[in-house]
Amino acid sequence: MVVLRRLLYSQKAAPYLFIAPFVITLLAFWLLPLARTFLLSTQEVVFGQAAFIGFDNYQRLWEDRLFWKAMFNSARYMVLTIALLIPVPLVLAALINSKIGSERVKAVFKASMFVPALTSVVVAGIIFRLMFAETGTGLMNQIVGIFGLEPVRWLRIDTGGLIALLALAMWRWTGVNILYFLAGMQSIPEEYYEAATIDGASRLQQFFHITLPNLKPTIVYVTTISIYGGLAMFLESFMLYRGNSSPNDQGLTVIGYLYRRGIEQNDLGFASAVGVVLVVVIMTINLTFLTLSGTFKKESAQ
């Protein structure tokens, strides 16, 4: 009891007790599986029997057309979501932040934009799959029809599927990103703008010379999570294509390929090699990006 009491009052011991759950989680659910992934990636596993095969899985991976296709698809999705989900919400946030227009409408708009983020990928995927139906009666084909065009076989062609995926991403995340940017904008001191107005700067000039530079931390943050989210995308495609198979593998992502080889085809070794490569890629991109944008410096200065 005395020991316990001393422990409870001790400022030396306390921090270790506080962070113990994290250390356990880190070891049991991250480092151990990571090590296991690496180990598995050097093995061939048949009905639970593992045999060491060195770096053969990595060599197969390197020569595997589908792996590169999956890489390409994930990278393309990441780049395009960043290209869309930063400028568009940024402009919309600026519109909301401007002094003109009805405040009530803006509030309704903000809340409505947020609603899709409440929708799970499963439900959103079901809805978008049905909207992008390839029959002439599907919503998107009706819209296309208004412009006098033939029905599009959306999810059966590469561009059509990509548009559907991007539309889904835009739908779910525009509202959230608007809020990020709004929060950033509202923390910019009003005096900056007043001074600029006195100098005769136009609204547009103010946006580029005051708003954007001051939003840098927010933009960095949103980009970071978009890199991560883009490269790790799987579920959106899985729901949209009703499973992990899509025509010509146009919807196959890196995680999707890991899932296919590991869980559907039971090739644990190969799938683990895919996982290891993905960890390395994501870590490299993120660390580079965070270093370049100076986030680490700020963190250690605290």
Partner 1 sequence: MSAQPATRTKVQLPHWLHGSVQTGFLLVLTLIVLAPLLIMFVATFQDGNDVIRRGLSLDIDRSSLSLDNYVMLFTDSGPYFRWFANSILLTVVQVAGTLLVSSFVAYGFAVYEFKGKTALFIAVLLLMAVPFEIMMLPLYVLVNDVGLADSYSVIVLPFLAAAVTIFYFRQYFLGIPKDLLEAGRMDGATEFGIFFKIVVPVAKPAFAAMAILNGMIIWNNFLWPLLVLRSESKFTLPIGLNTLLTPHENNYELLIIGSLFSLLPVLVLFLLFQRFFVAGMTAGALKG
Partner 2 sequence: MTTRRRITSLLAAGLAATLMLSACGGSEEEGGPDAEGRTSIDMWVFAELHGTYYEAMAEAWNEKNPDKEIKLDVTVFPYDEMHNKLQLAVNSGKGLPDVVDIEVNKFSNFVTEDGRTPLADLSEAAEPYQEDIVQARMDLYAREGKQLGFPTHVGAQVAFYNIPLLEKAGVDYTTIKTWDDFKAAGAKYNKATGKAFGVASTDTNITQPLVMAQLGGDLFDEDGNVTVNSPEVVEAIELLQDMQKAGALSTIPGGSPDIEEAYGPINNGDYAAIVYPAWYTSRFVDYMPDLAGDIAIAPAPVIEGGEVATVGGGGTGTAVIDSSPDKEFAAEWLAFAKLSPEANVAVWEELGFDPVNMSVWEDKDVTHNPENKFNKYFRTNLFDVLNEVKGDIGHFESFENPNLPKVDEVFTTSTYNQIFGDGVPAKQALDQAQADLENQLK
Least distance between partner 2 and beta carbon 213 (Å): 46
User: At closest approach, how far in Å is the CB of 107 from partner 1?
Assistant: 9
Select the binding partner of residue 70 from partner 2, partner 1, none (C-beta < 5 to 8 A, by kind): none
64 binds partner 2 (CB under 8 A): yes
Q: Which is nearer to partner 1, 32 or 79 (CB)?
A: 32
Among the listed ranges 98-106, 209-217, 243-251, 276-284, the one in contact with partner 2 (CB under 8 A) is 243-251
Separation CA 88–CA 108 (nearest Å): 18
Query: Does 60 engage in binding with partner 2 (CB under 8 A)?
Result: yes
- Evaluate whether 95 touches 281 at the Cβ level (below 8 Å): no
CA dist., res. 296 & res. 29, Å (int): 25
163 membership: H or E segment, kind and range: helix 158-186
Binding string, 169-188, against partner 1, x = CB under 8 A?
A: --x--xxx--xx--xx--x-
- By beta-carbon proximity to partner 1, the closer residue of 250 and 275 is 275
Any contact of residue 30 with partner 1 (CB under 8 A)?
Answer: yes
Residue 266 contacts which entry, partner 2, partner 1, none (Cβ below 5-8 A, type-dependent): partner 2
Site of tokens 């050097």: 42
What proportions of the chain, in percent to the nearest 5, are helix, strand and coil? Answer: 75, 5, 20
Q: First CA to last CA across the chain, in angstroms?
A: 38
Site for partner 2 in 154-183 (CB under 8 A): 156
Interface pick for partner 2 out of 10, 142, 265, 288 (rule CB under 8 A): 265
The nearer residue to partner 2, 211 or 246, going by C-beta atoms, is 246
Q: Which structure tokens are listed for 35?
A: 């090590």
Rounded Cα gap, residues 94 and 211, in angstroms = 9
Nearer to partner 1, 24 or 83 (CB): 24
Cα–Cα distance, 145 to 117 (Å, whole number): 29
The CB-of-159 to partner 1 minimum distance in angstroms stands at 18
Q: Which is nearer to partner 1, 80 or 133 (CB)?
A: 133
246 lies in the site for partner 2, by CB under 8 A: yes
Q: Which of 19, 83, 149, 212 binds partner 1 (CB under 8 A)?
A: 19
**Closest C-alpha to 276, from 29, 28, 27, 39:** 39
SS3 labels along 23-88: HHHHHHHHHHHHHHHHHHCCEEEECCEEEECCCHHHHHHHHCHHHHHHHHHHHHHHHHHHHHHCHH
Which parts of this chain interact with partner 2 (CB under 8 A)?
Answer: 45-48, 56, 60, 63-66, 133-135, 153, 156, 243-249, 260, 263-266
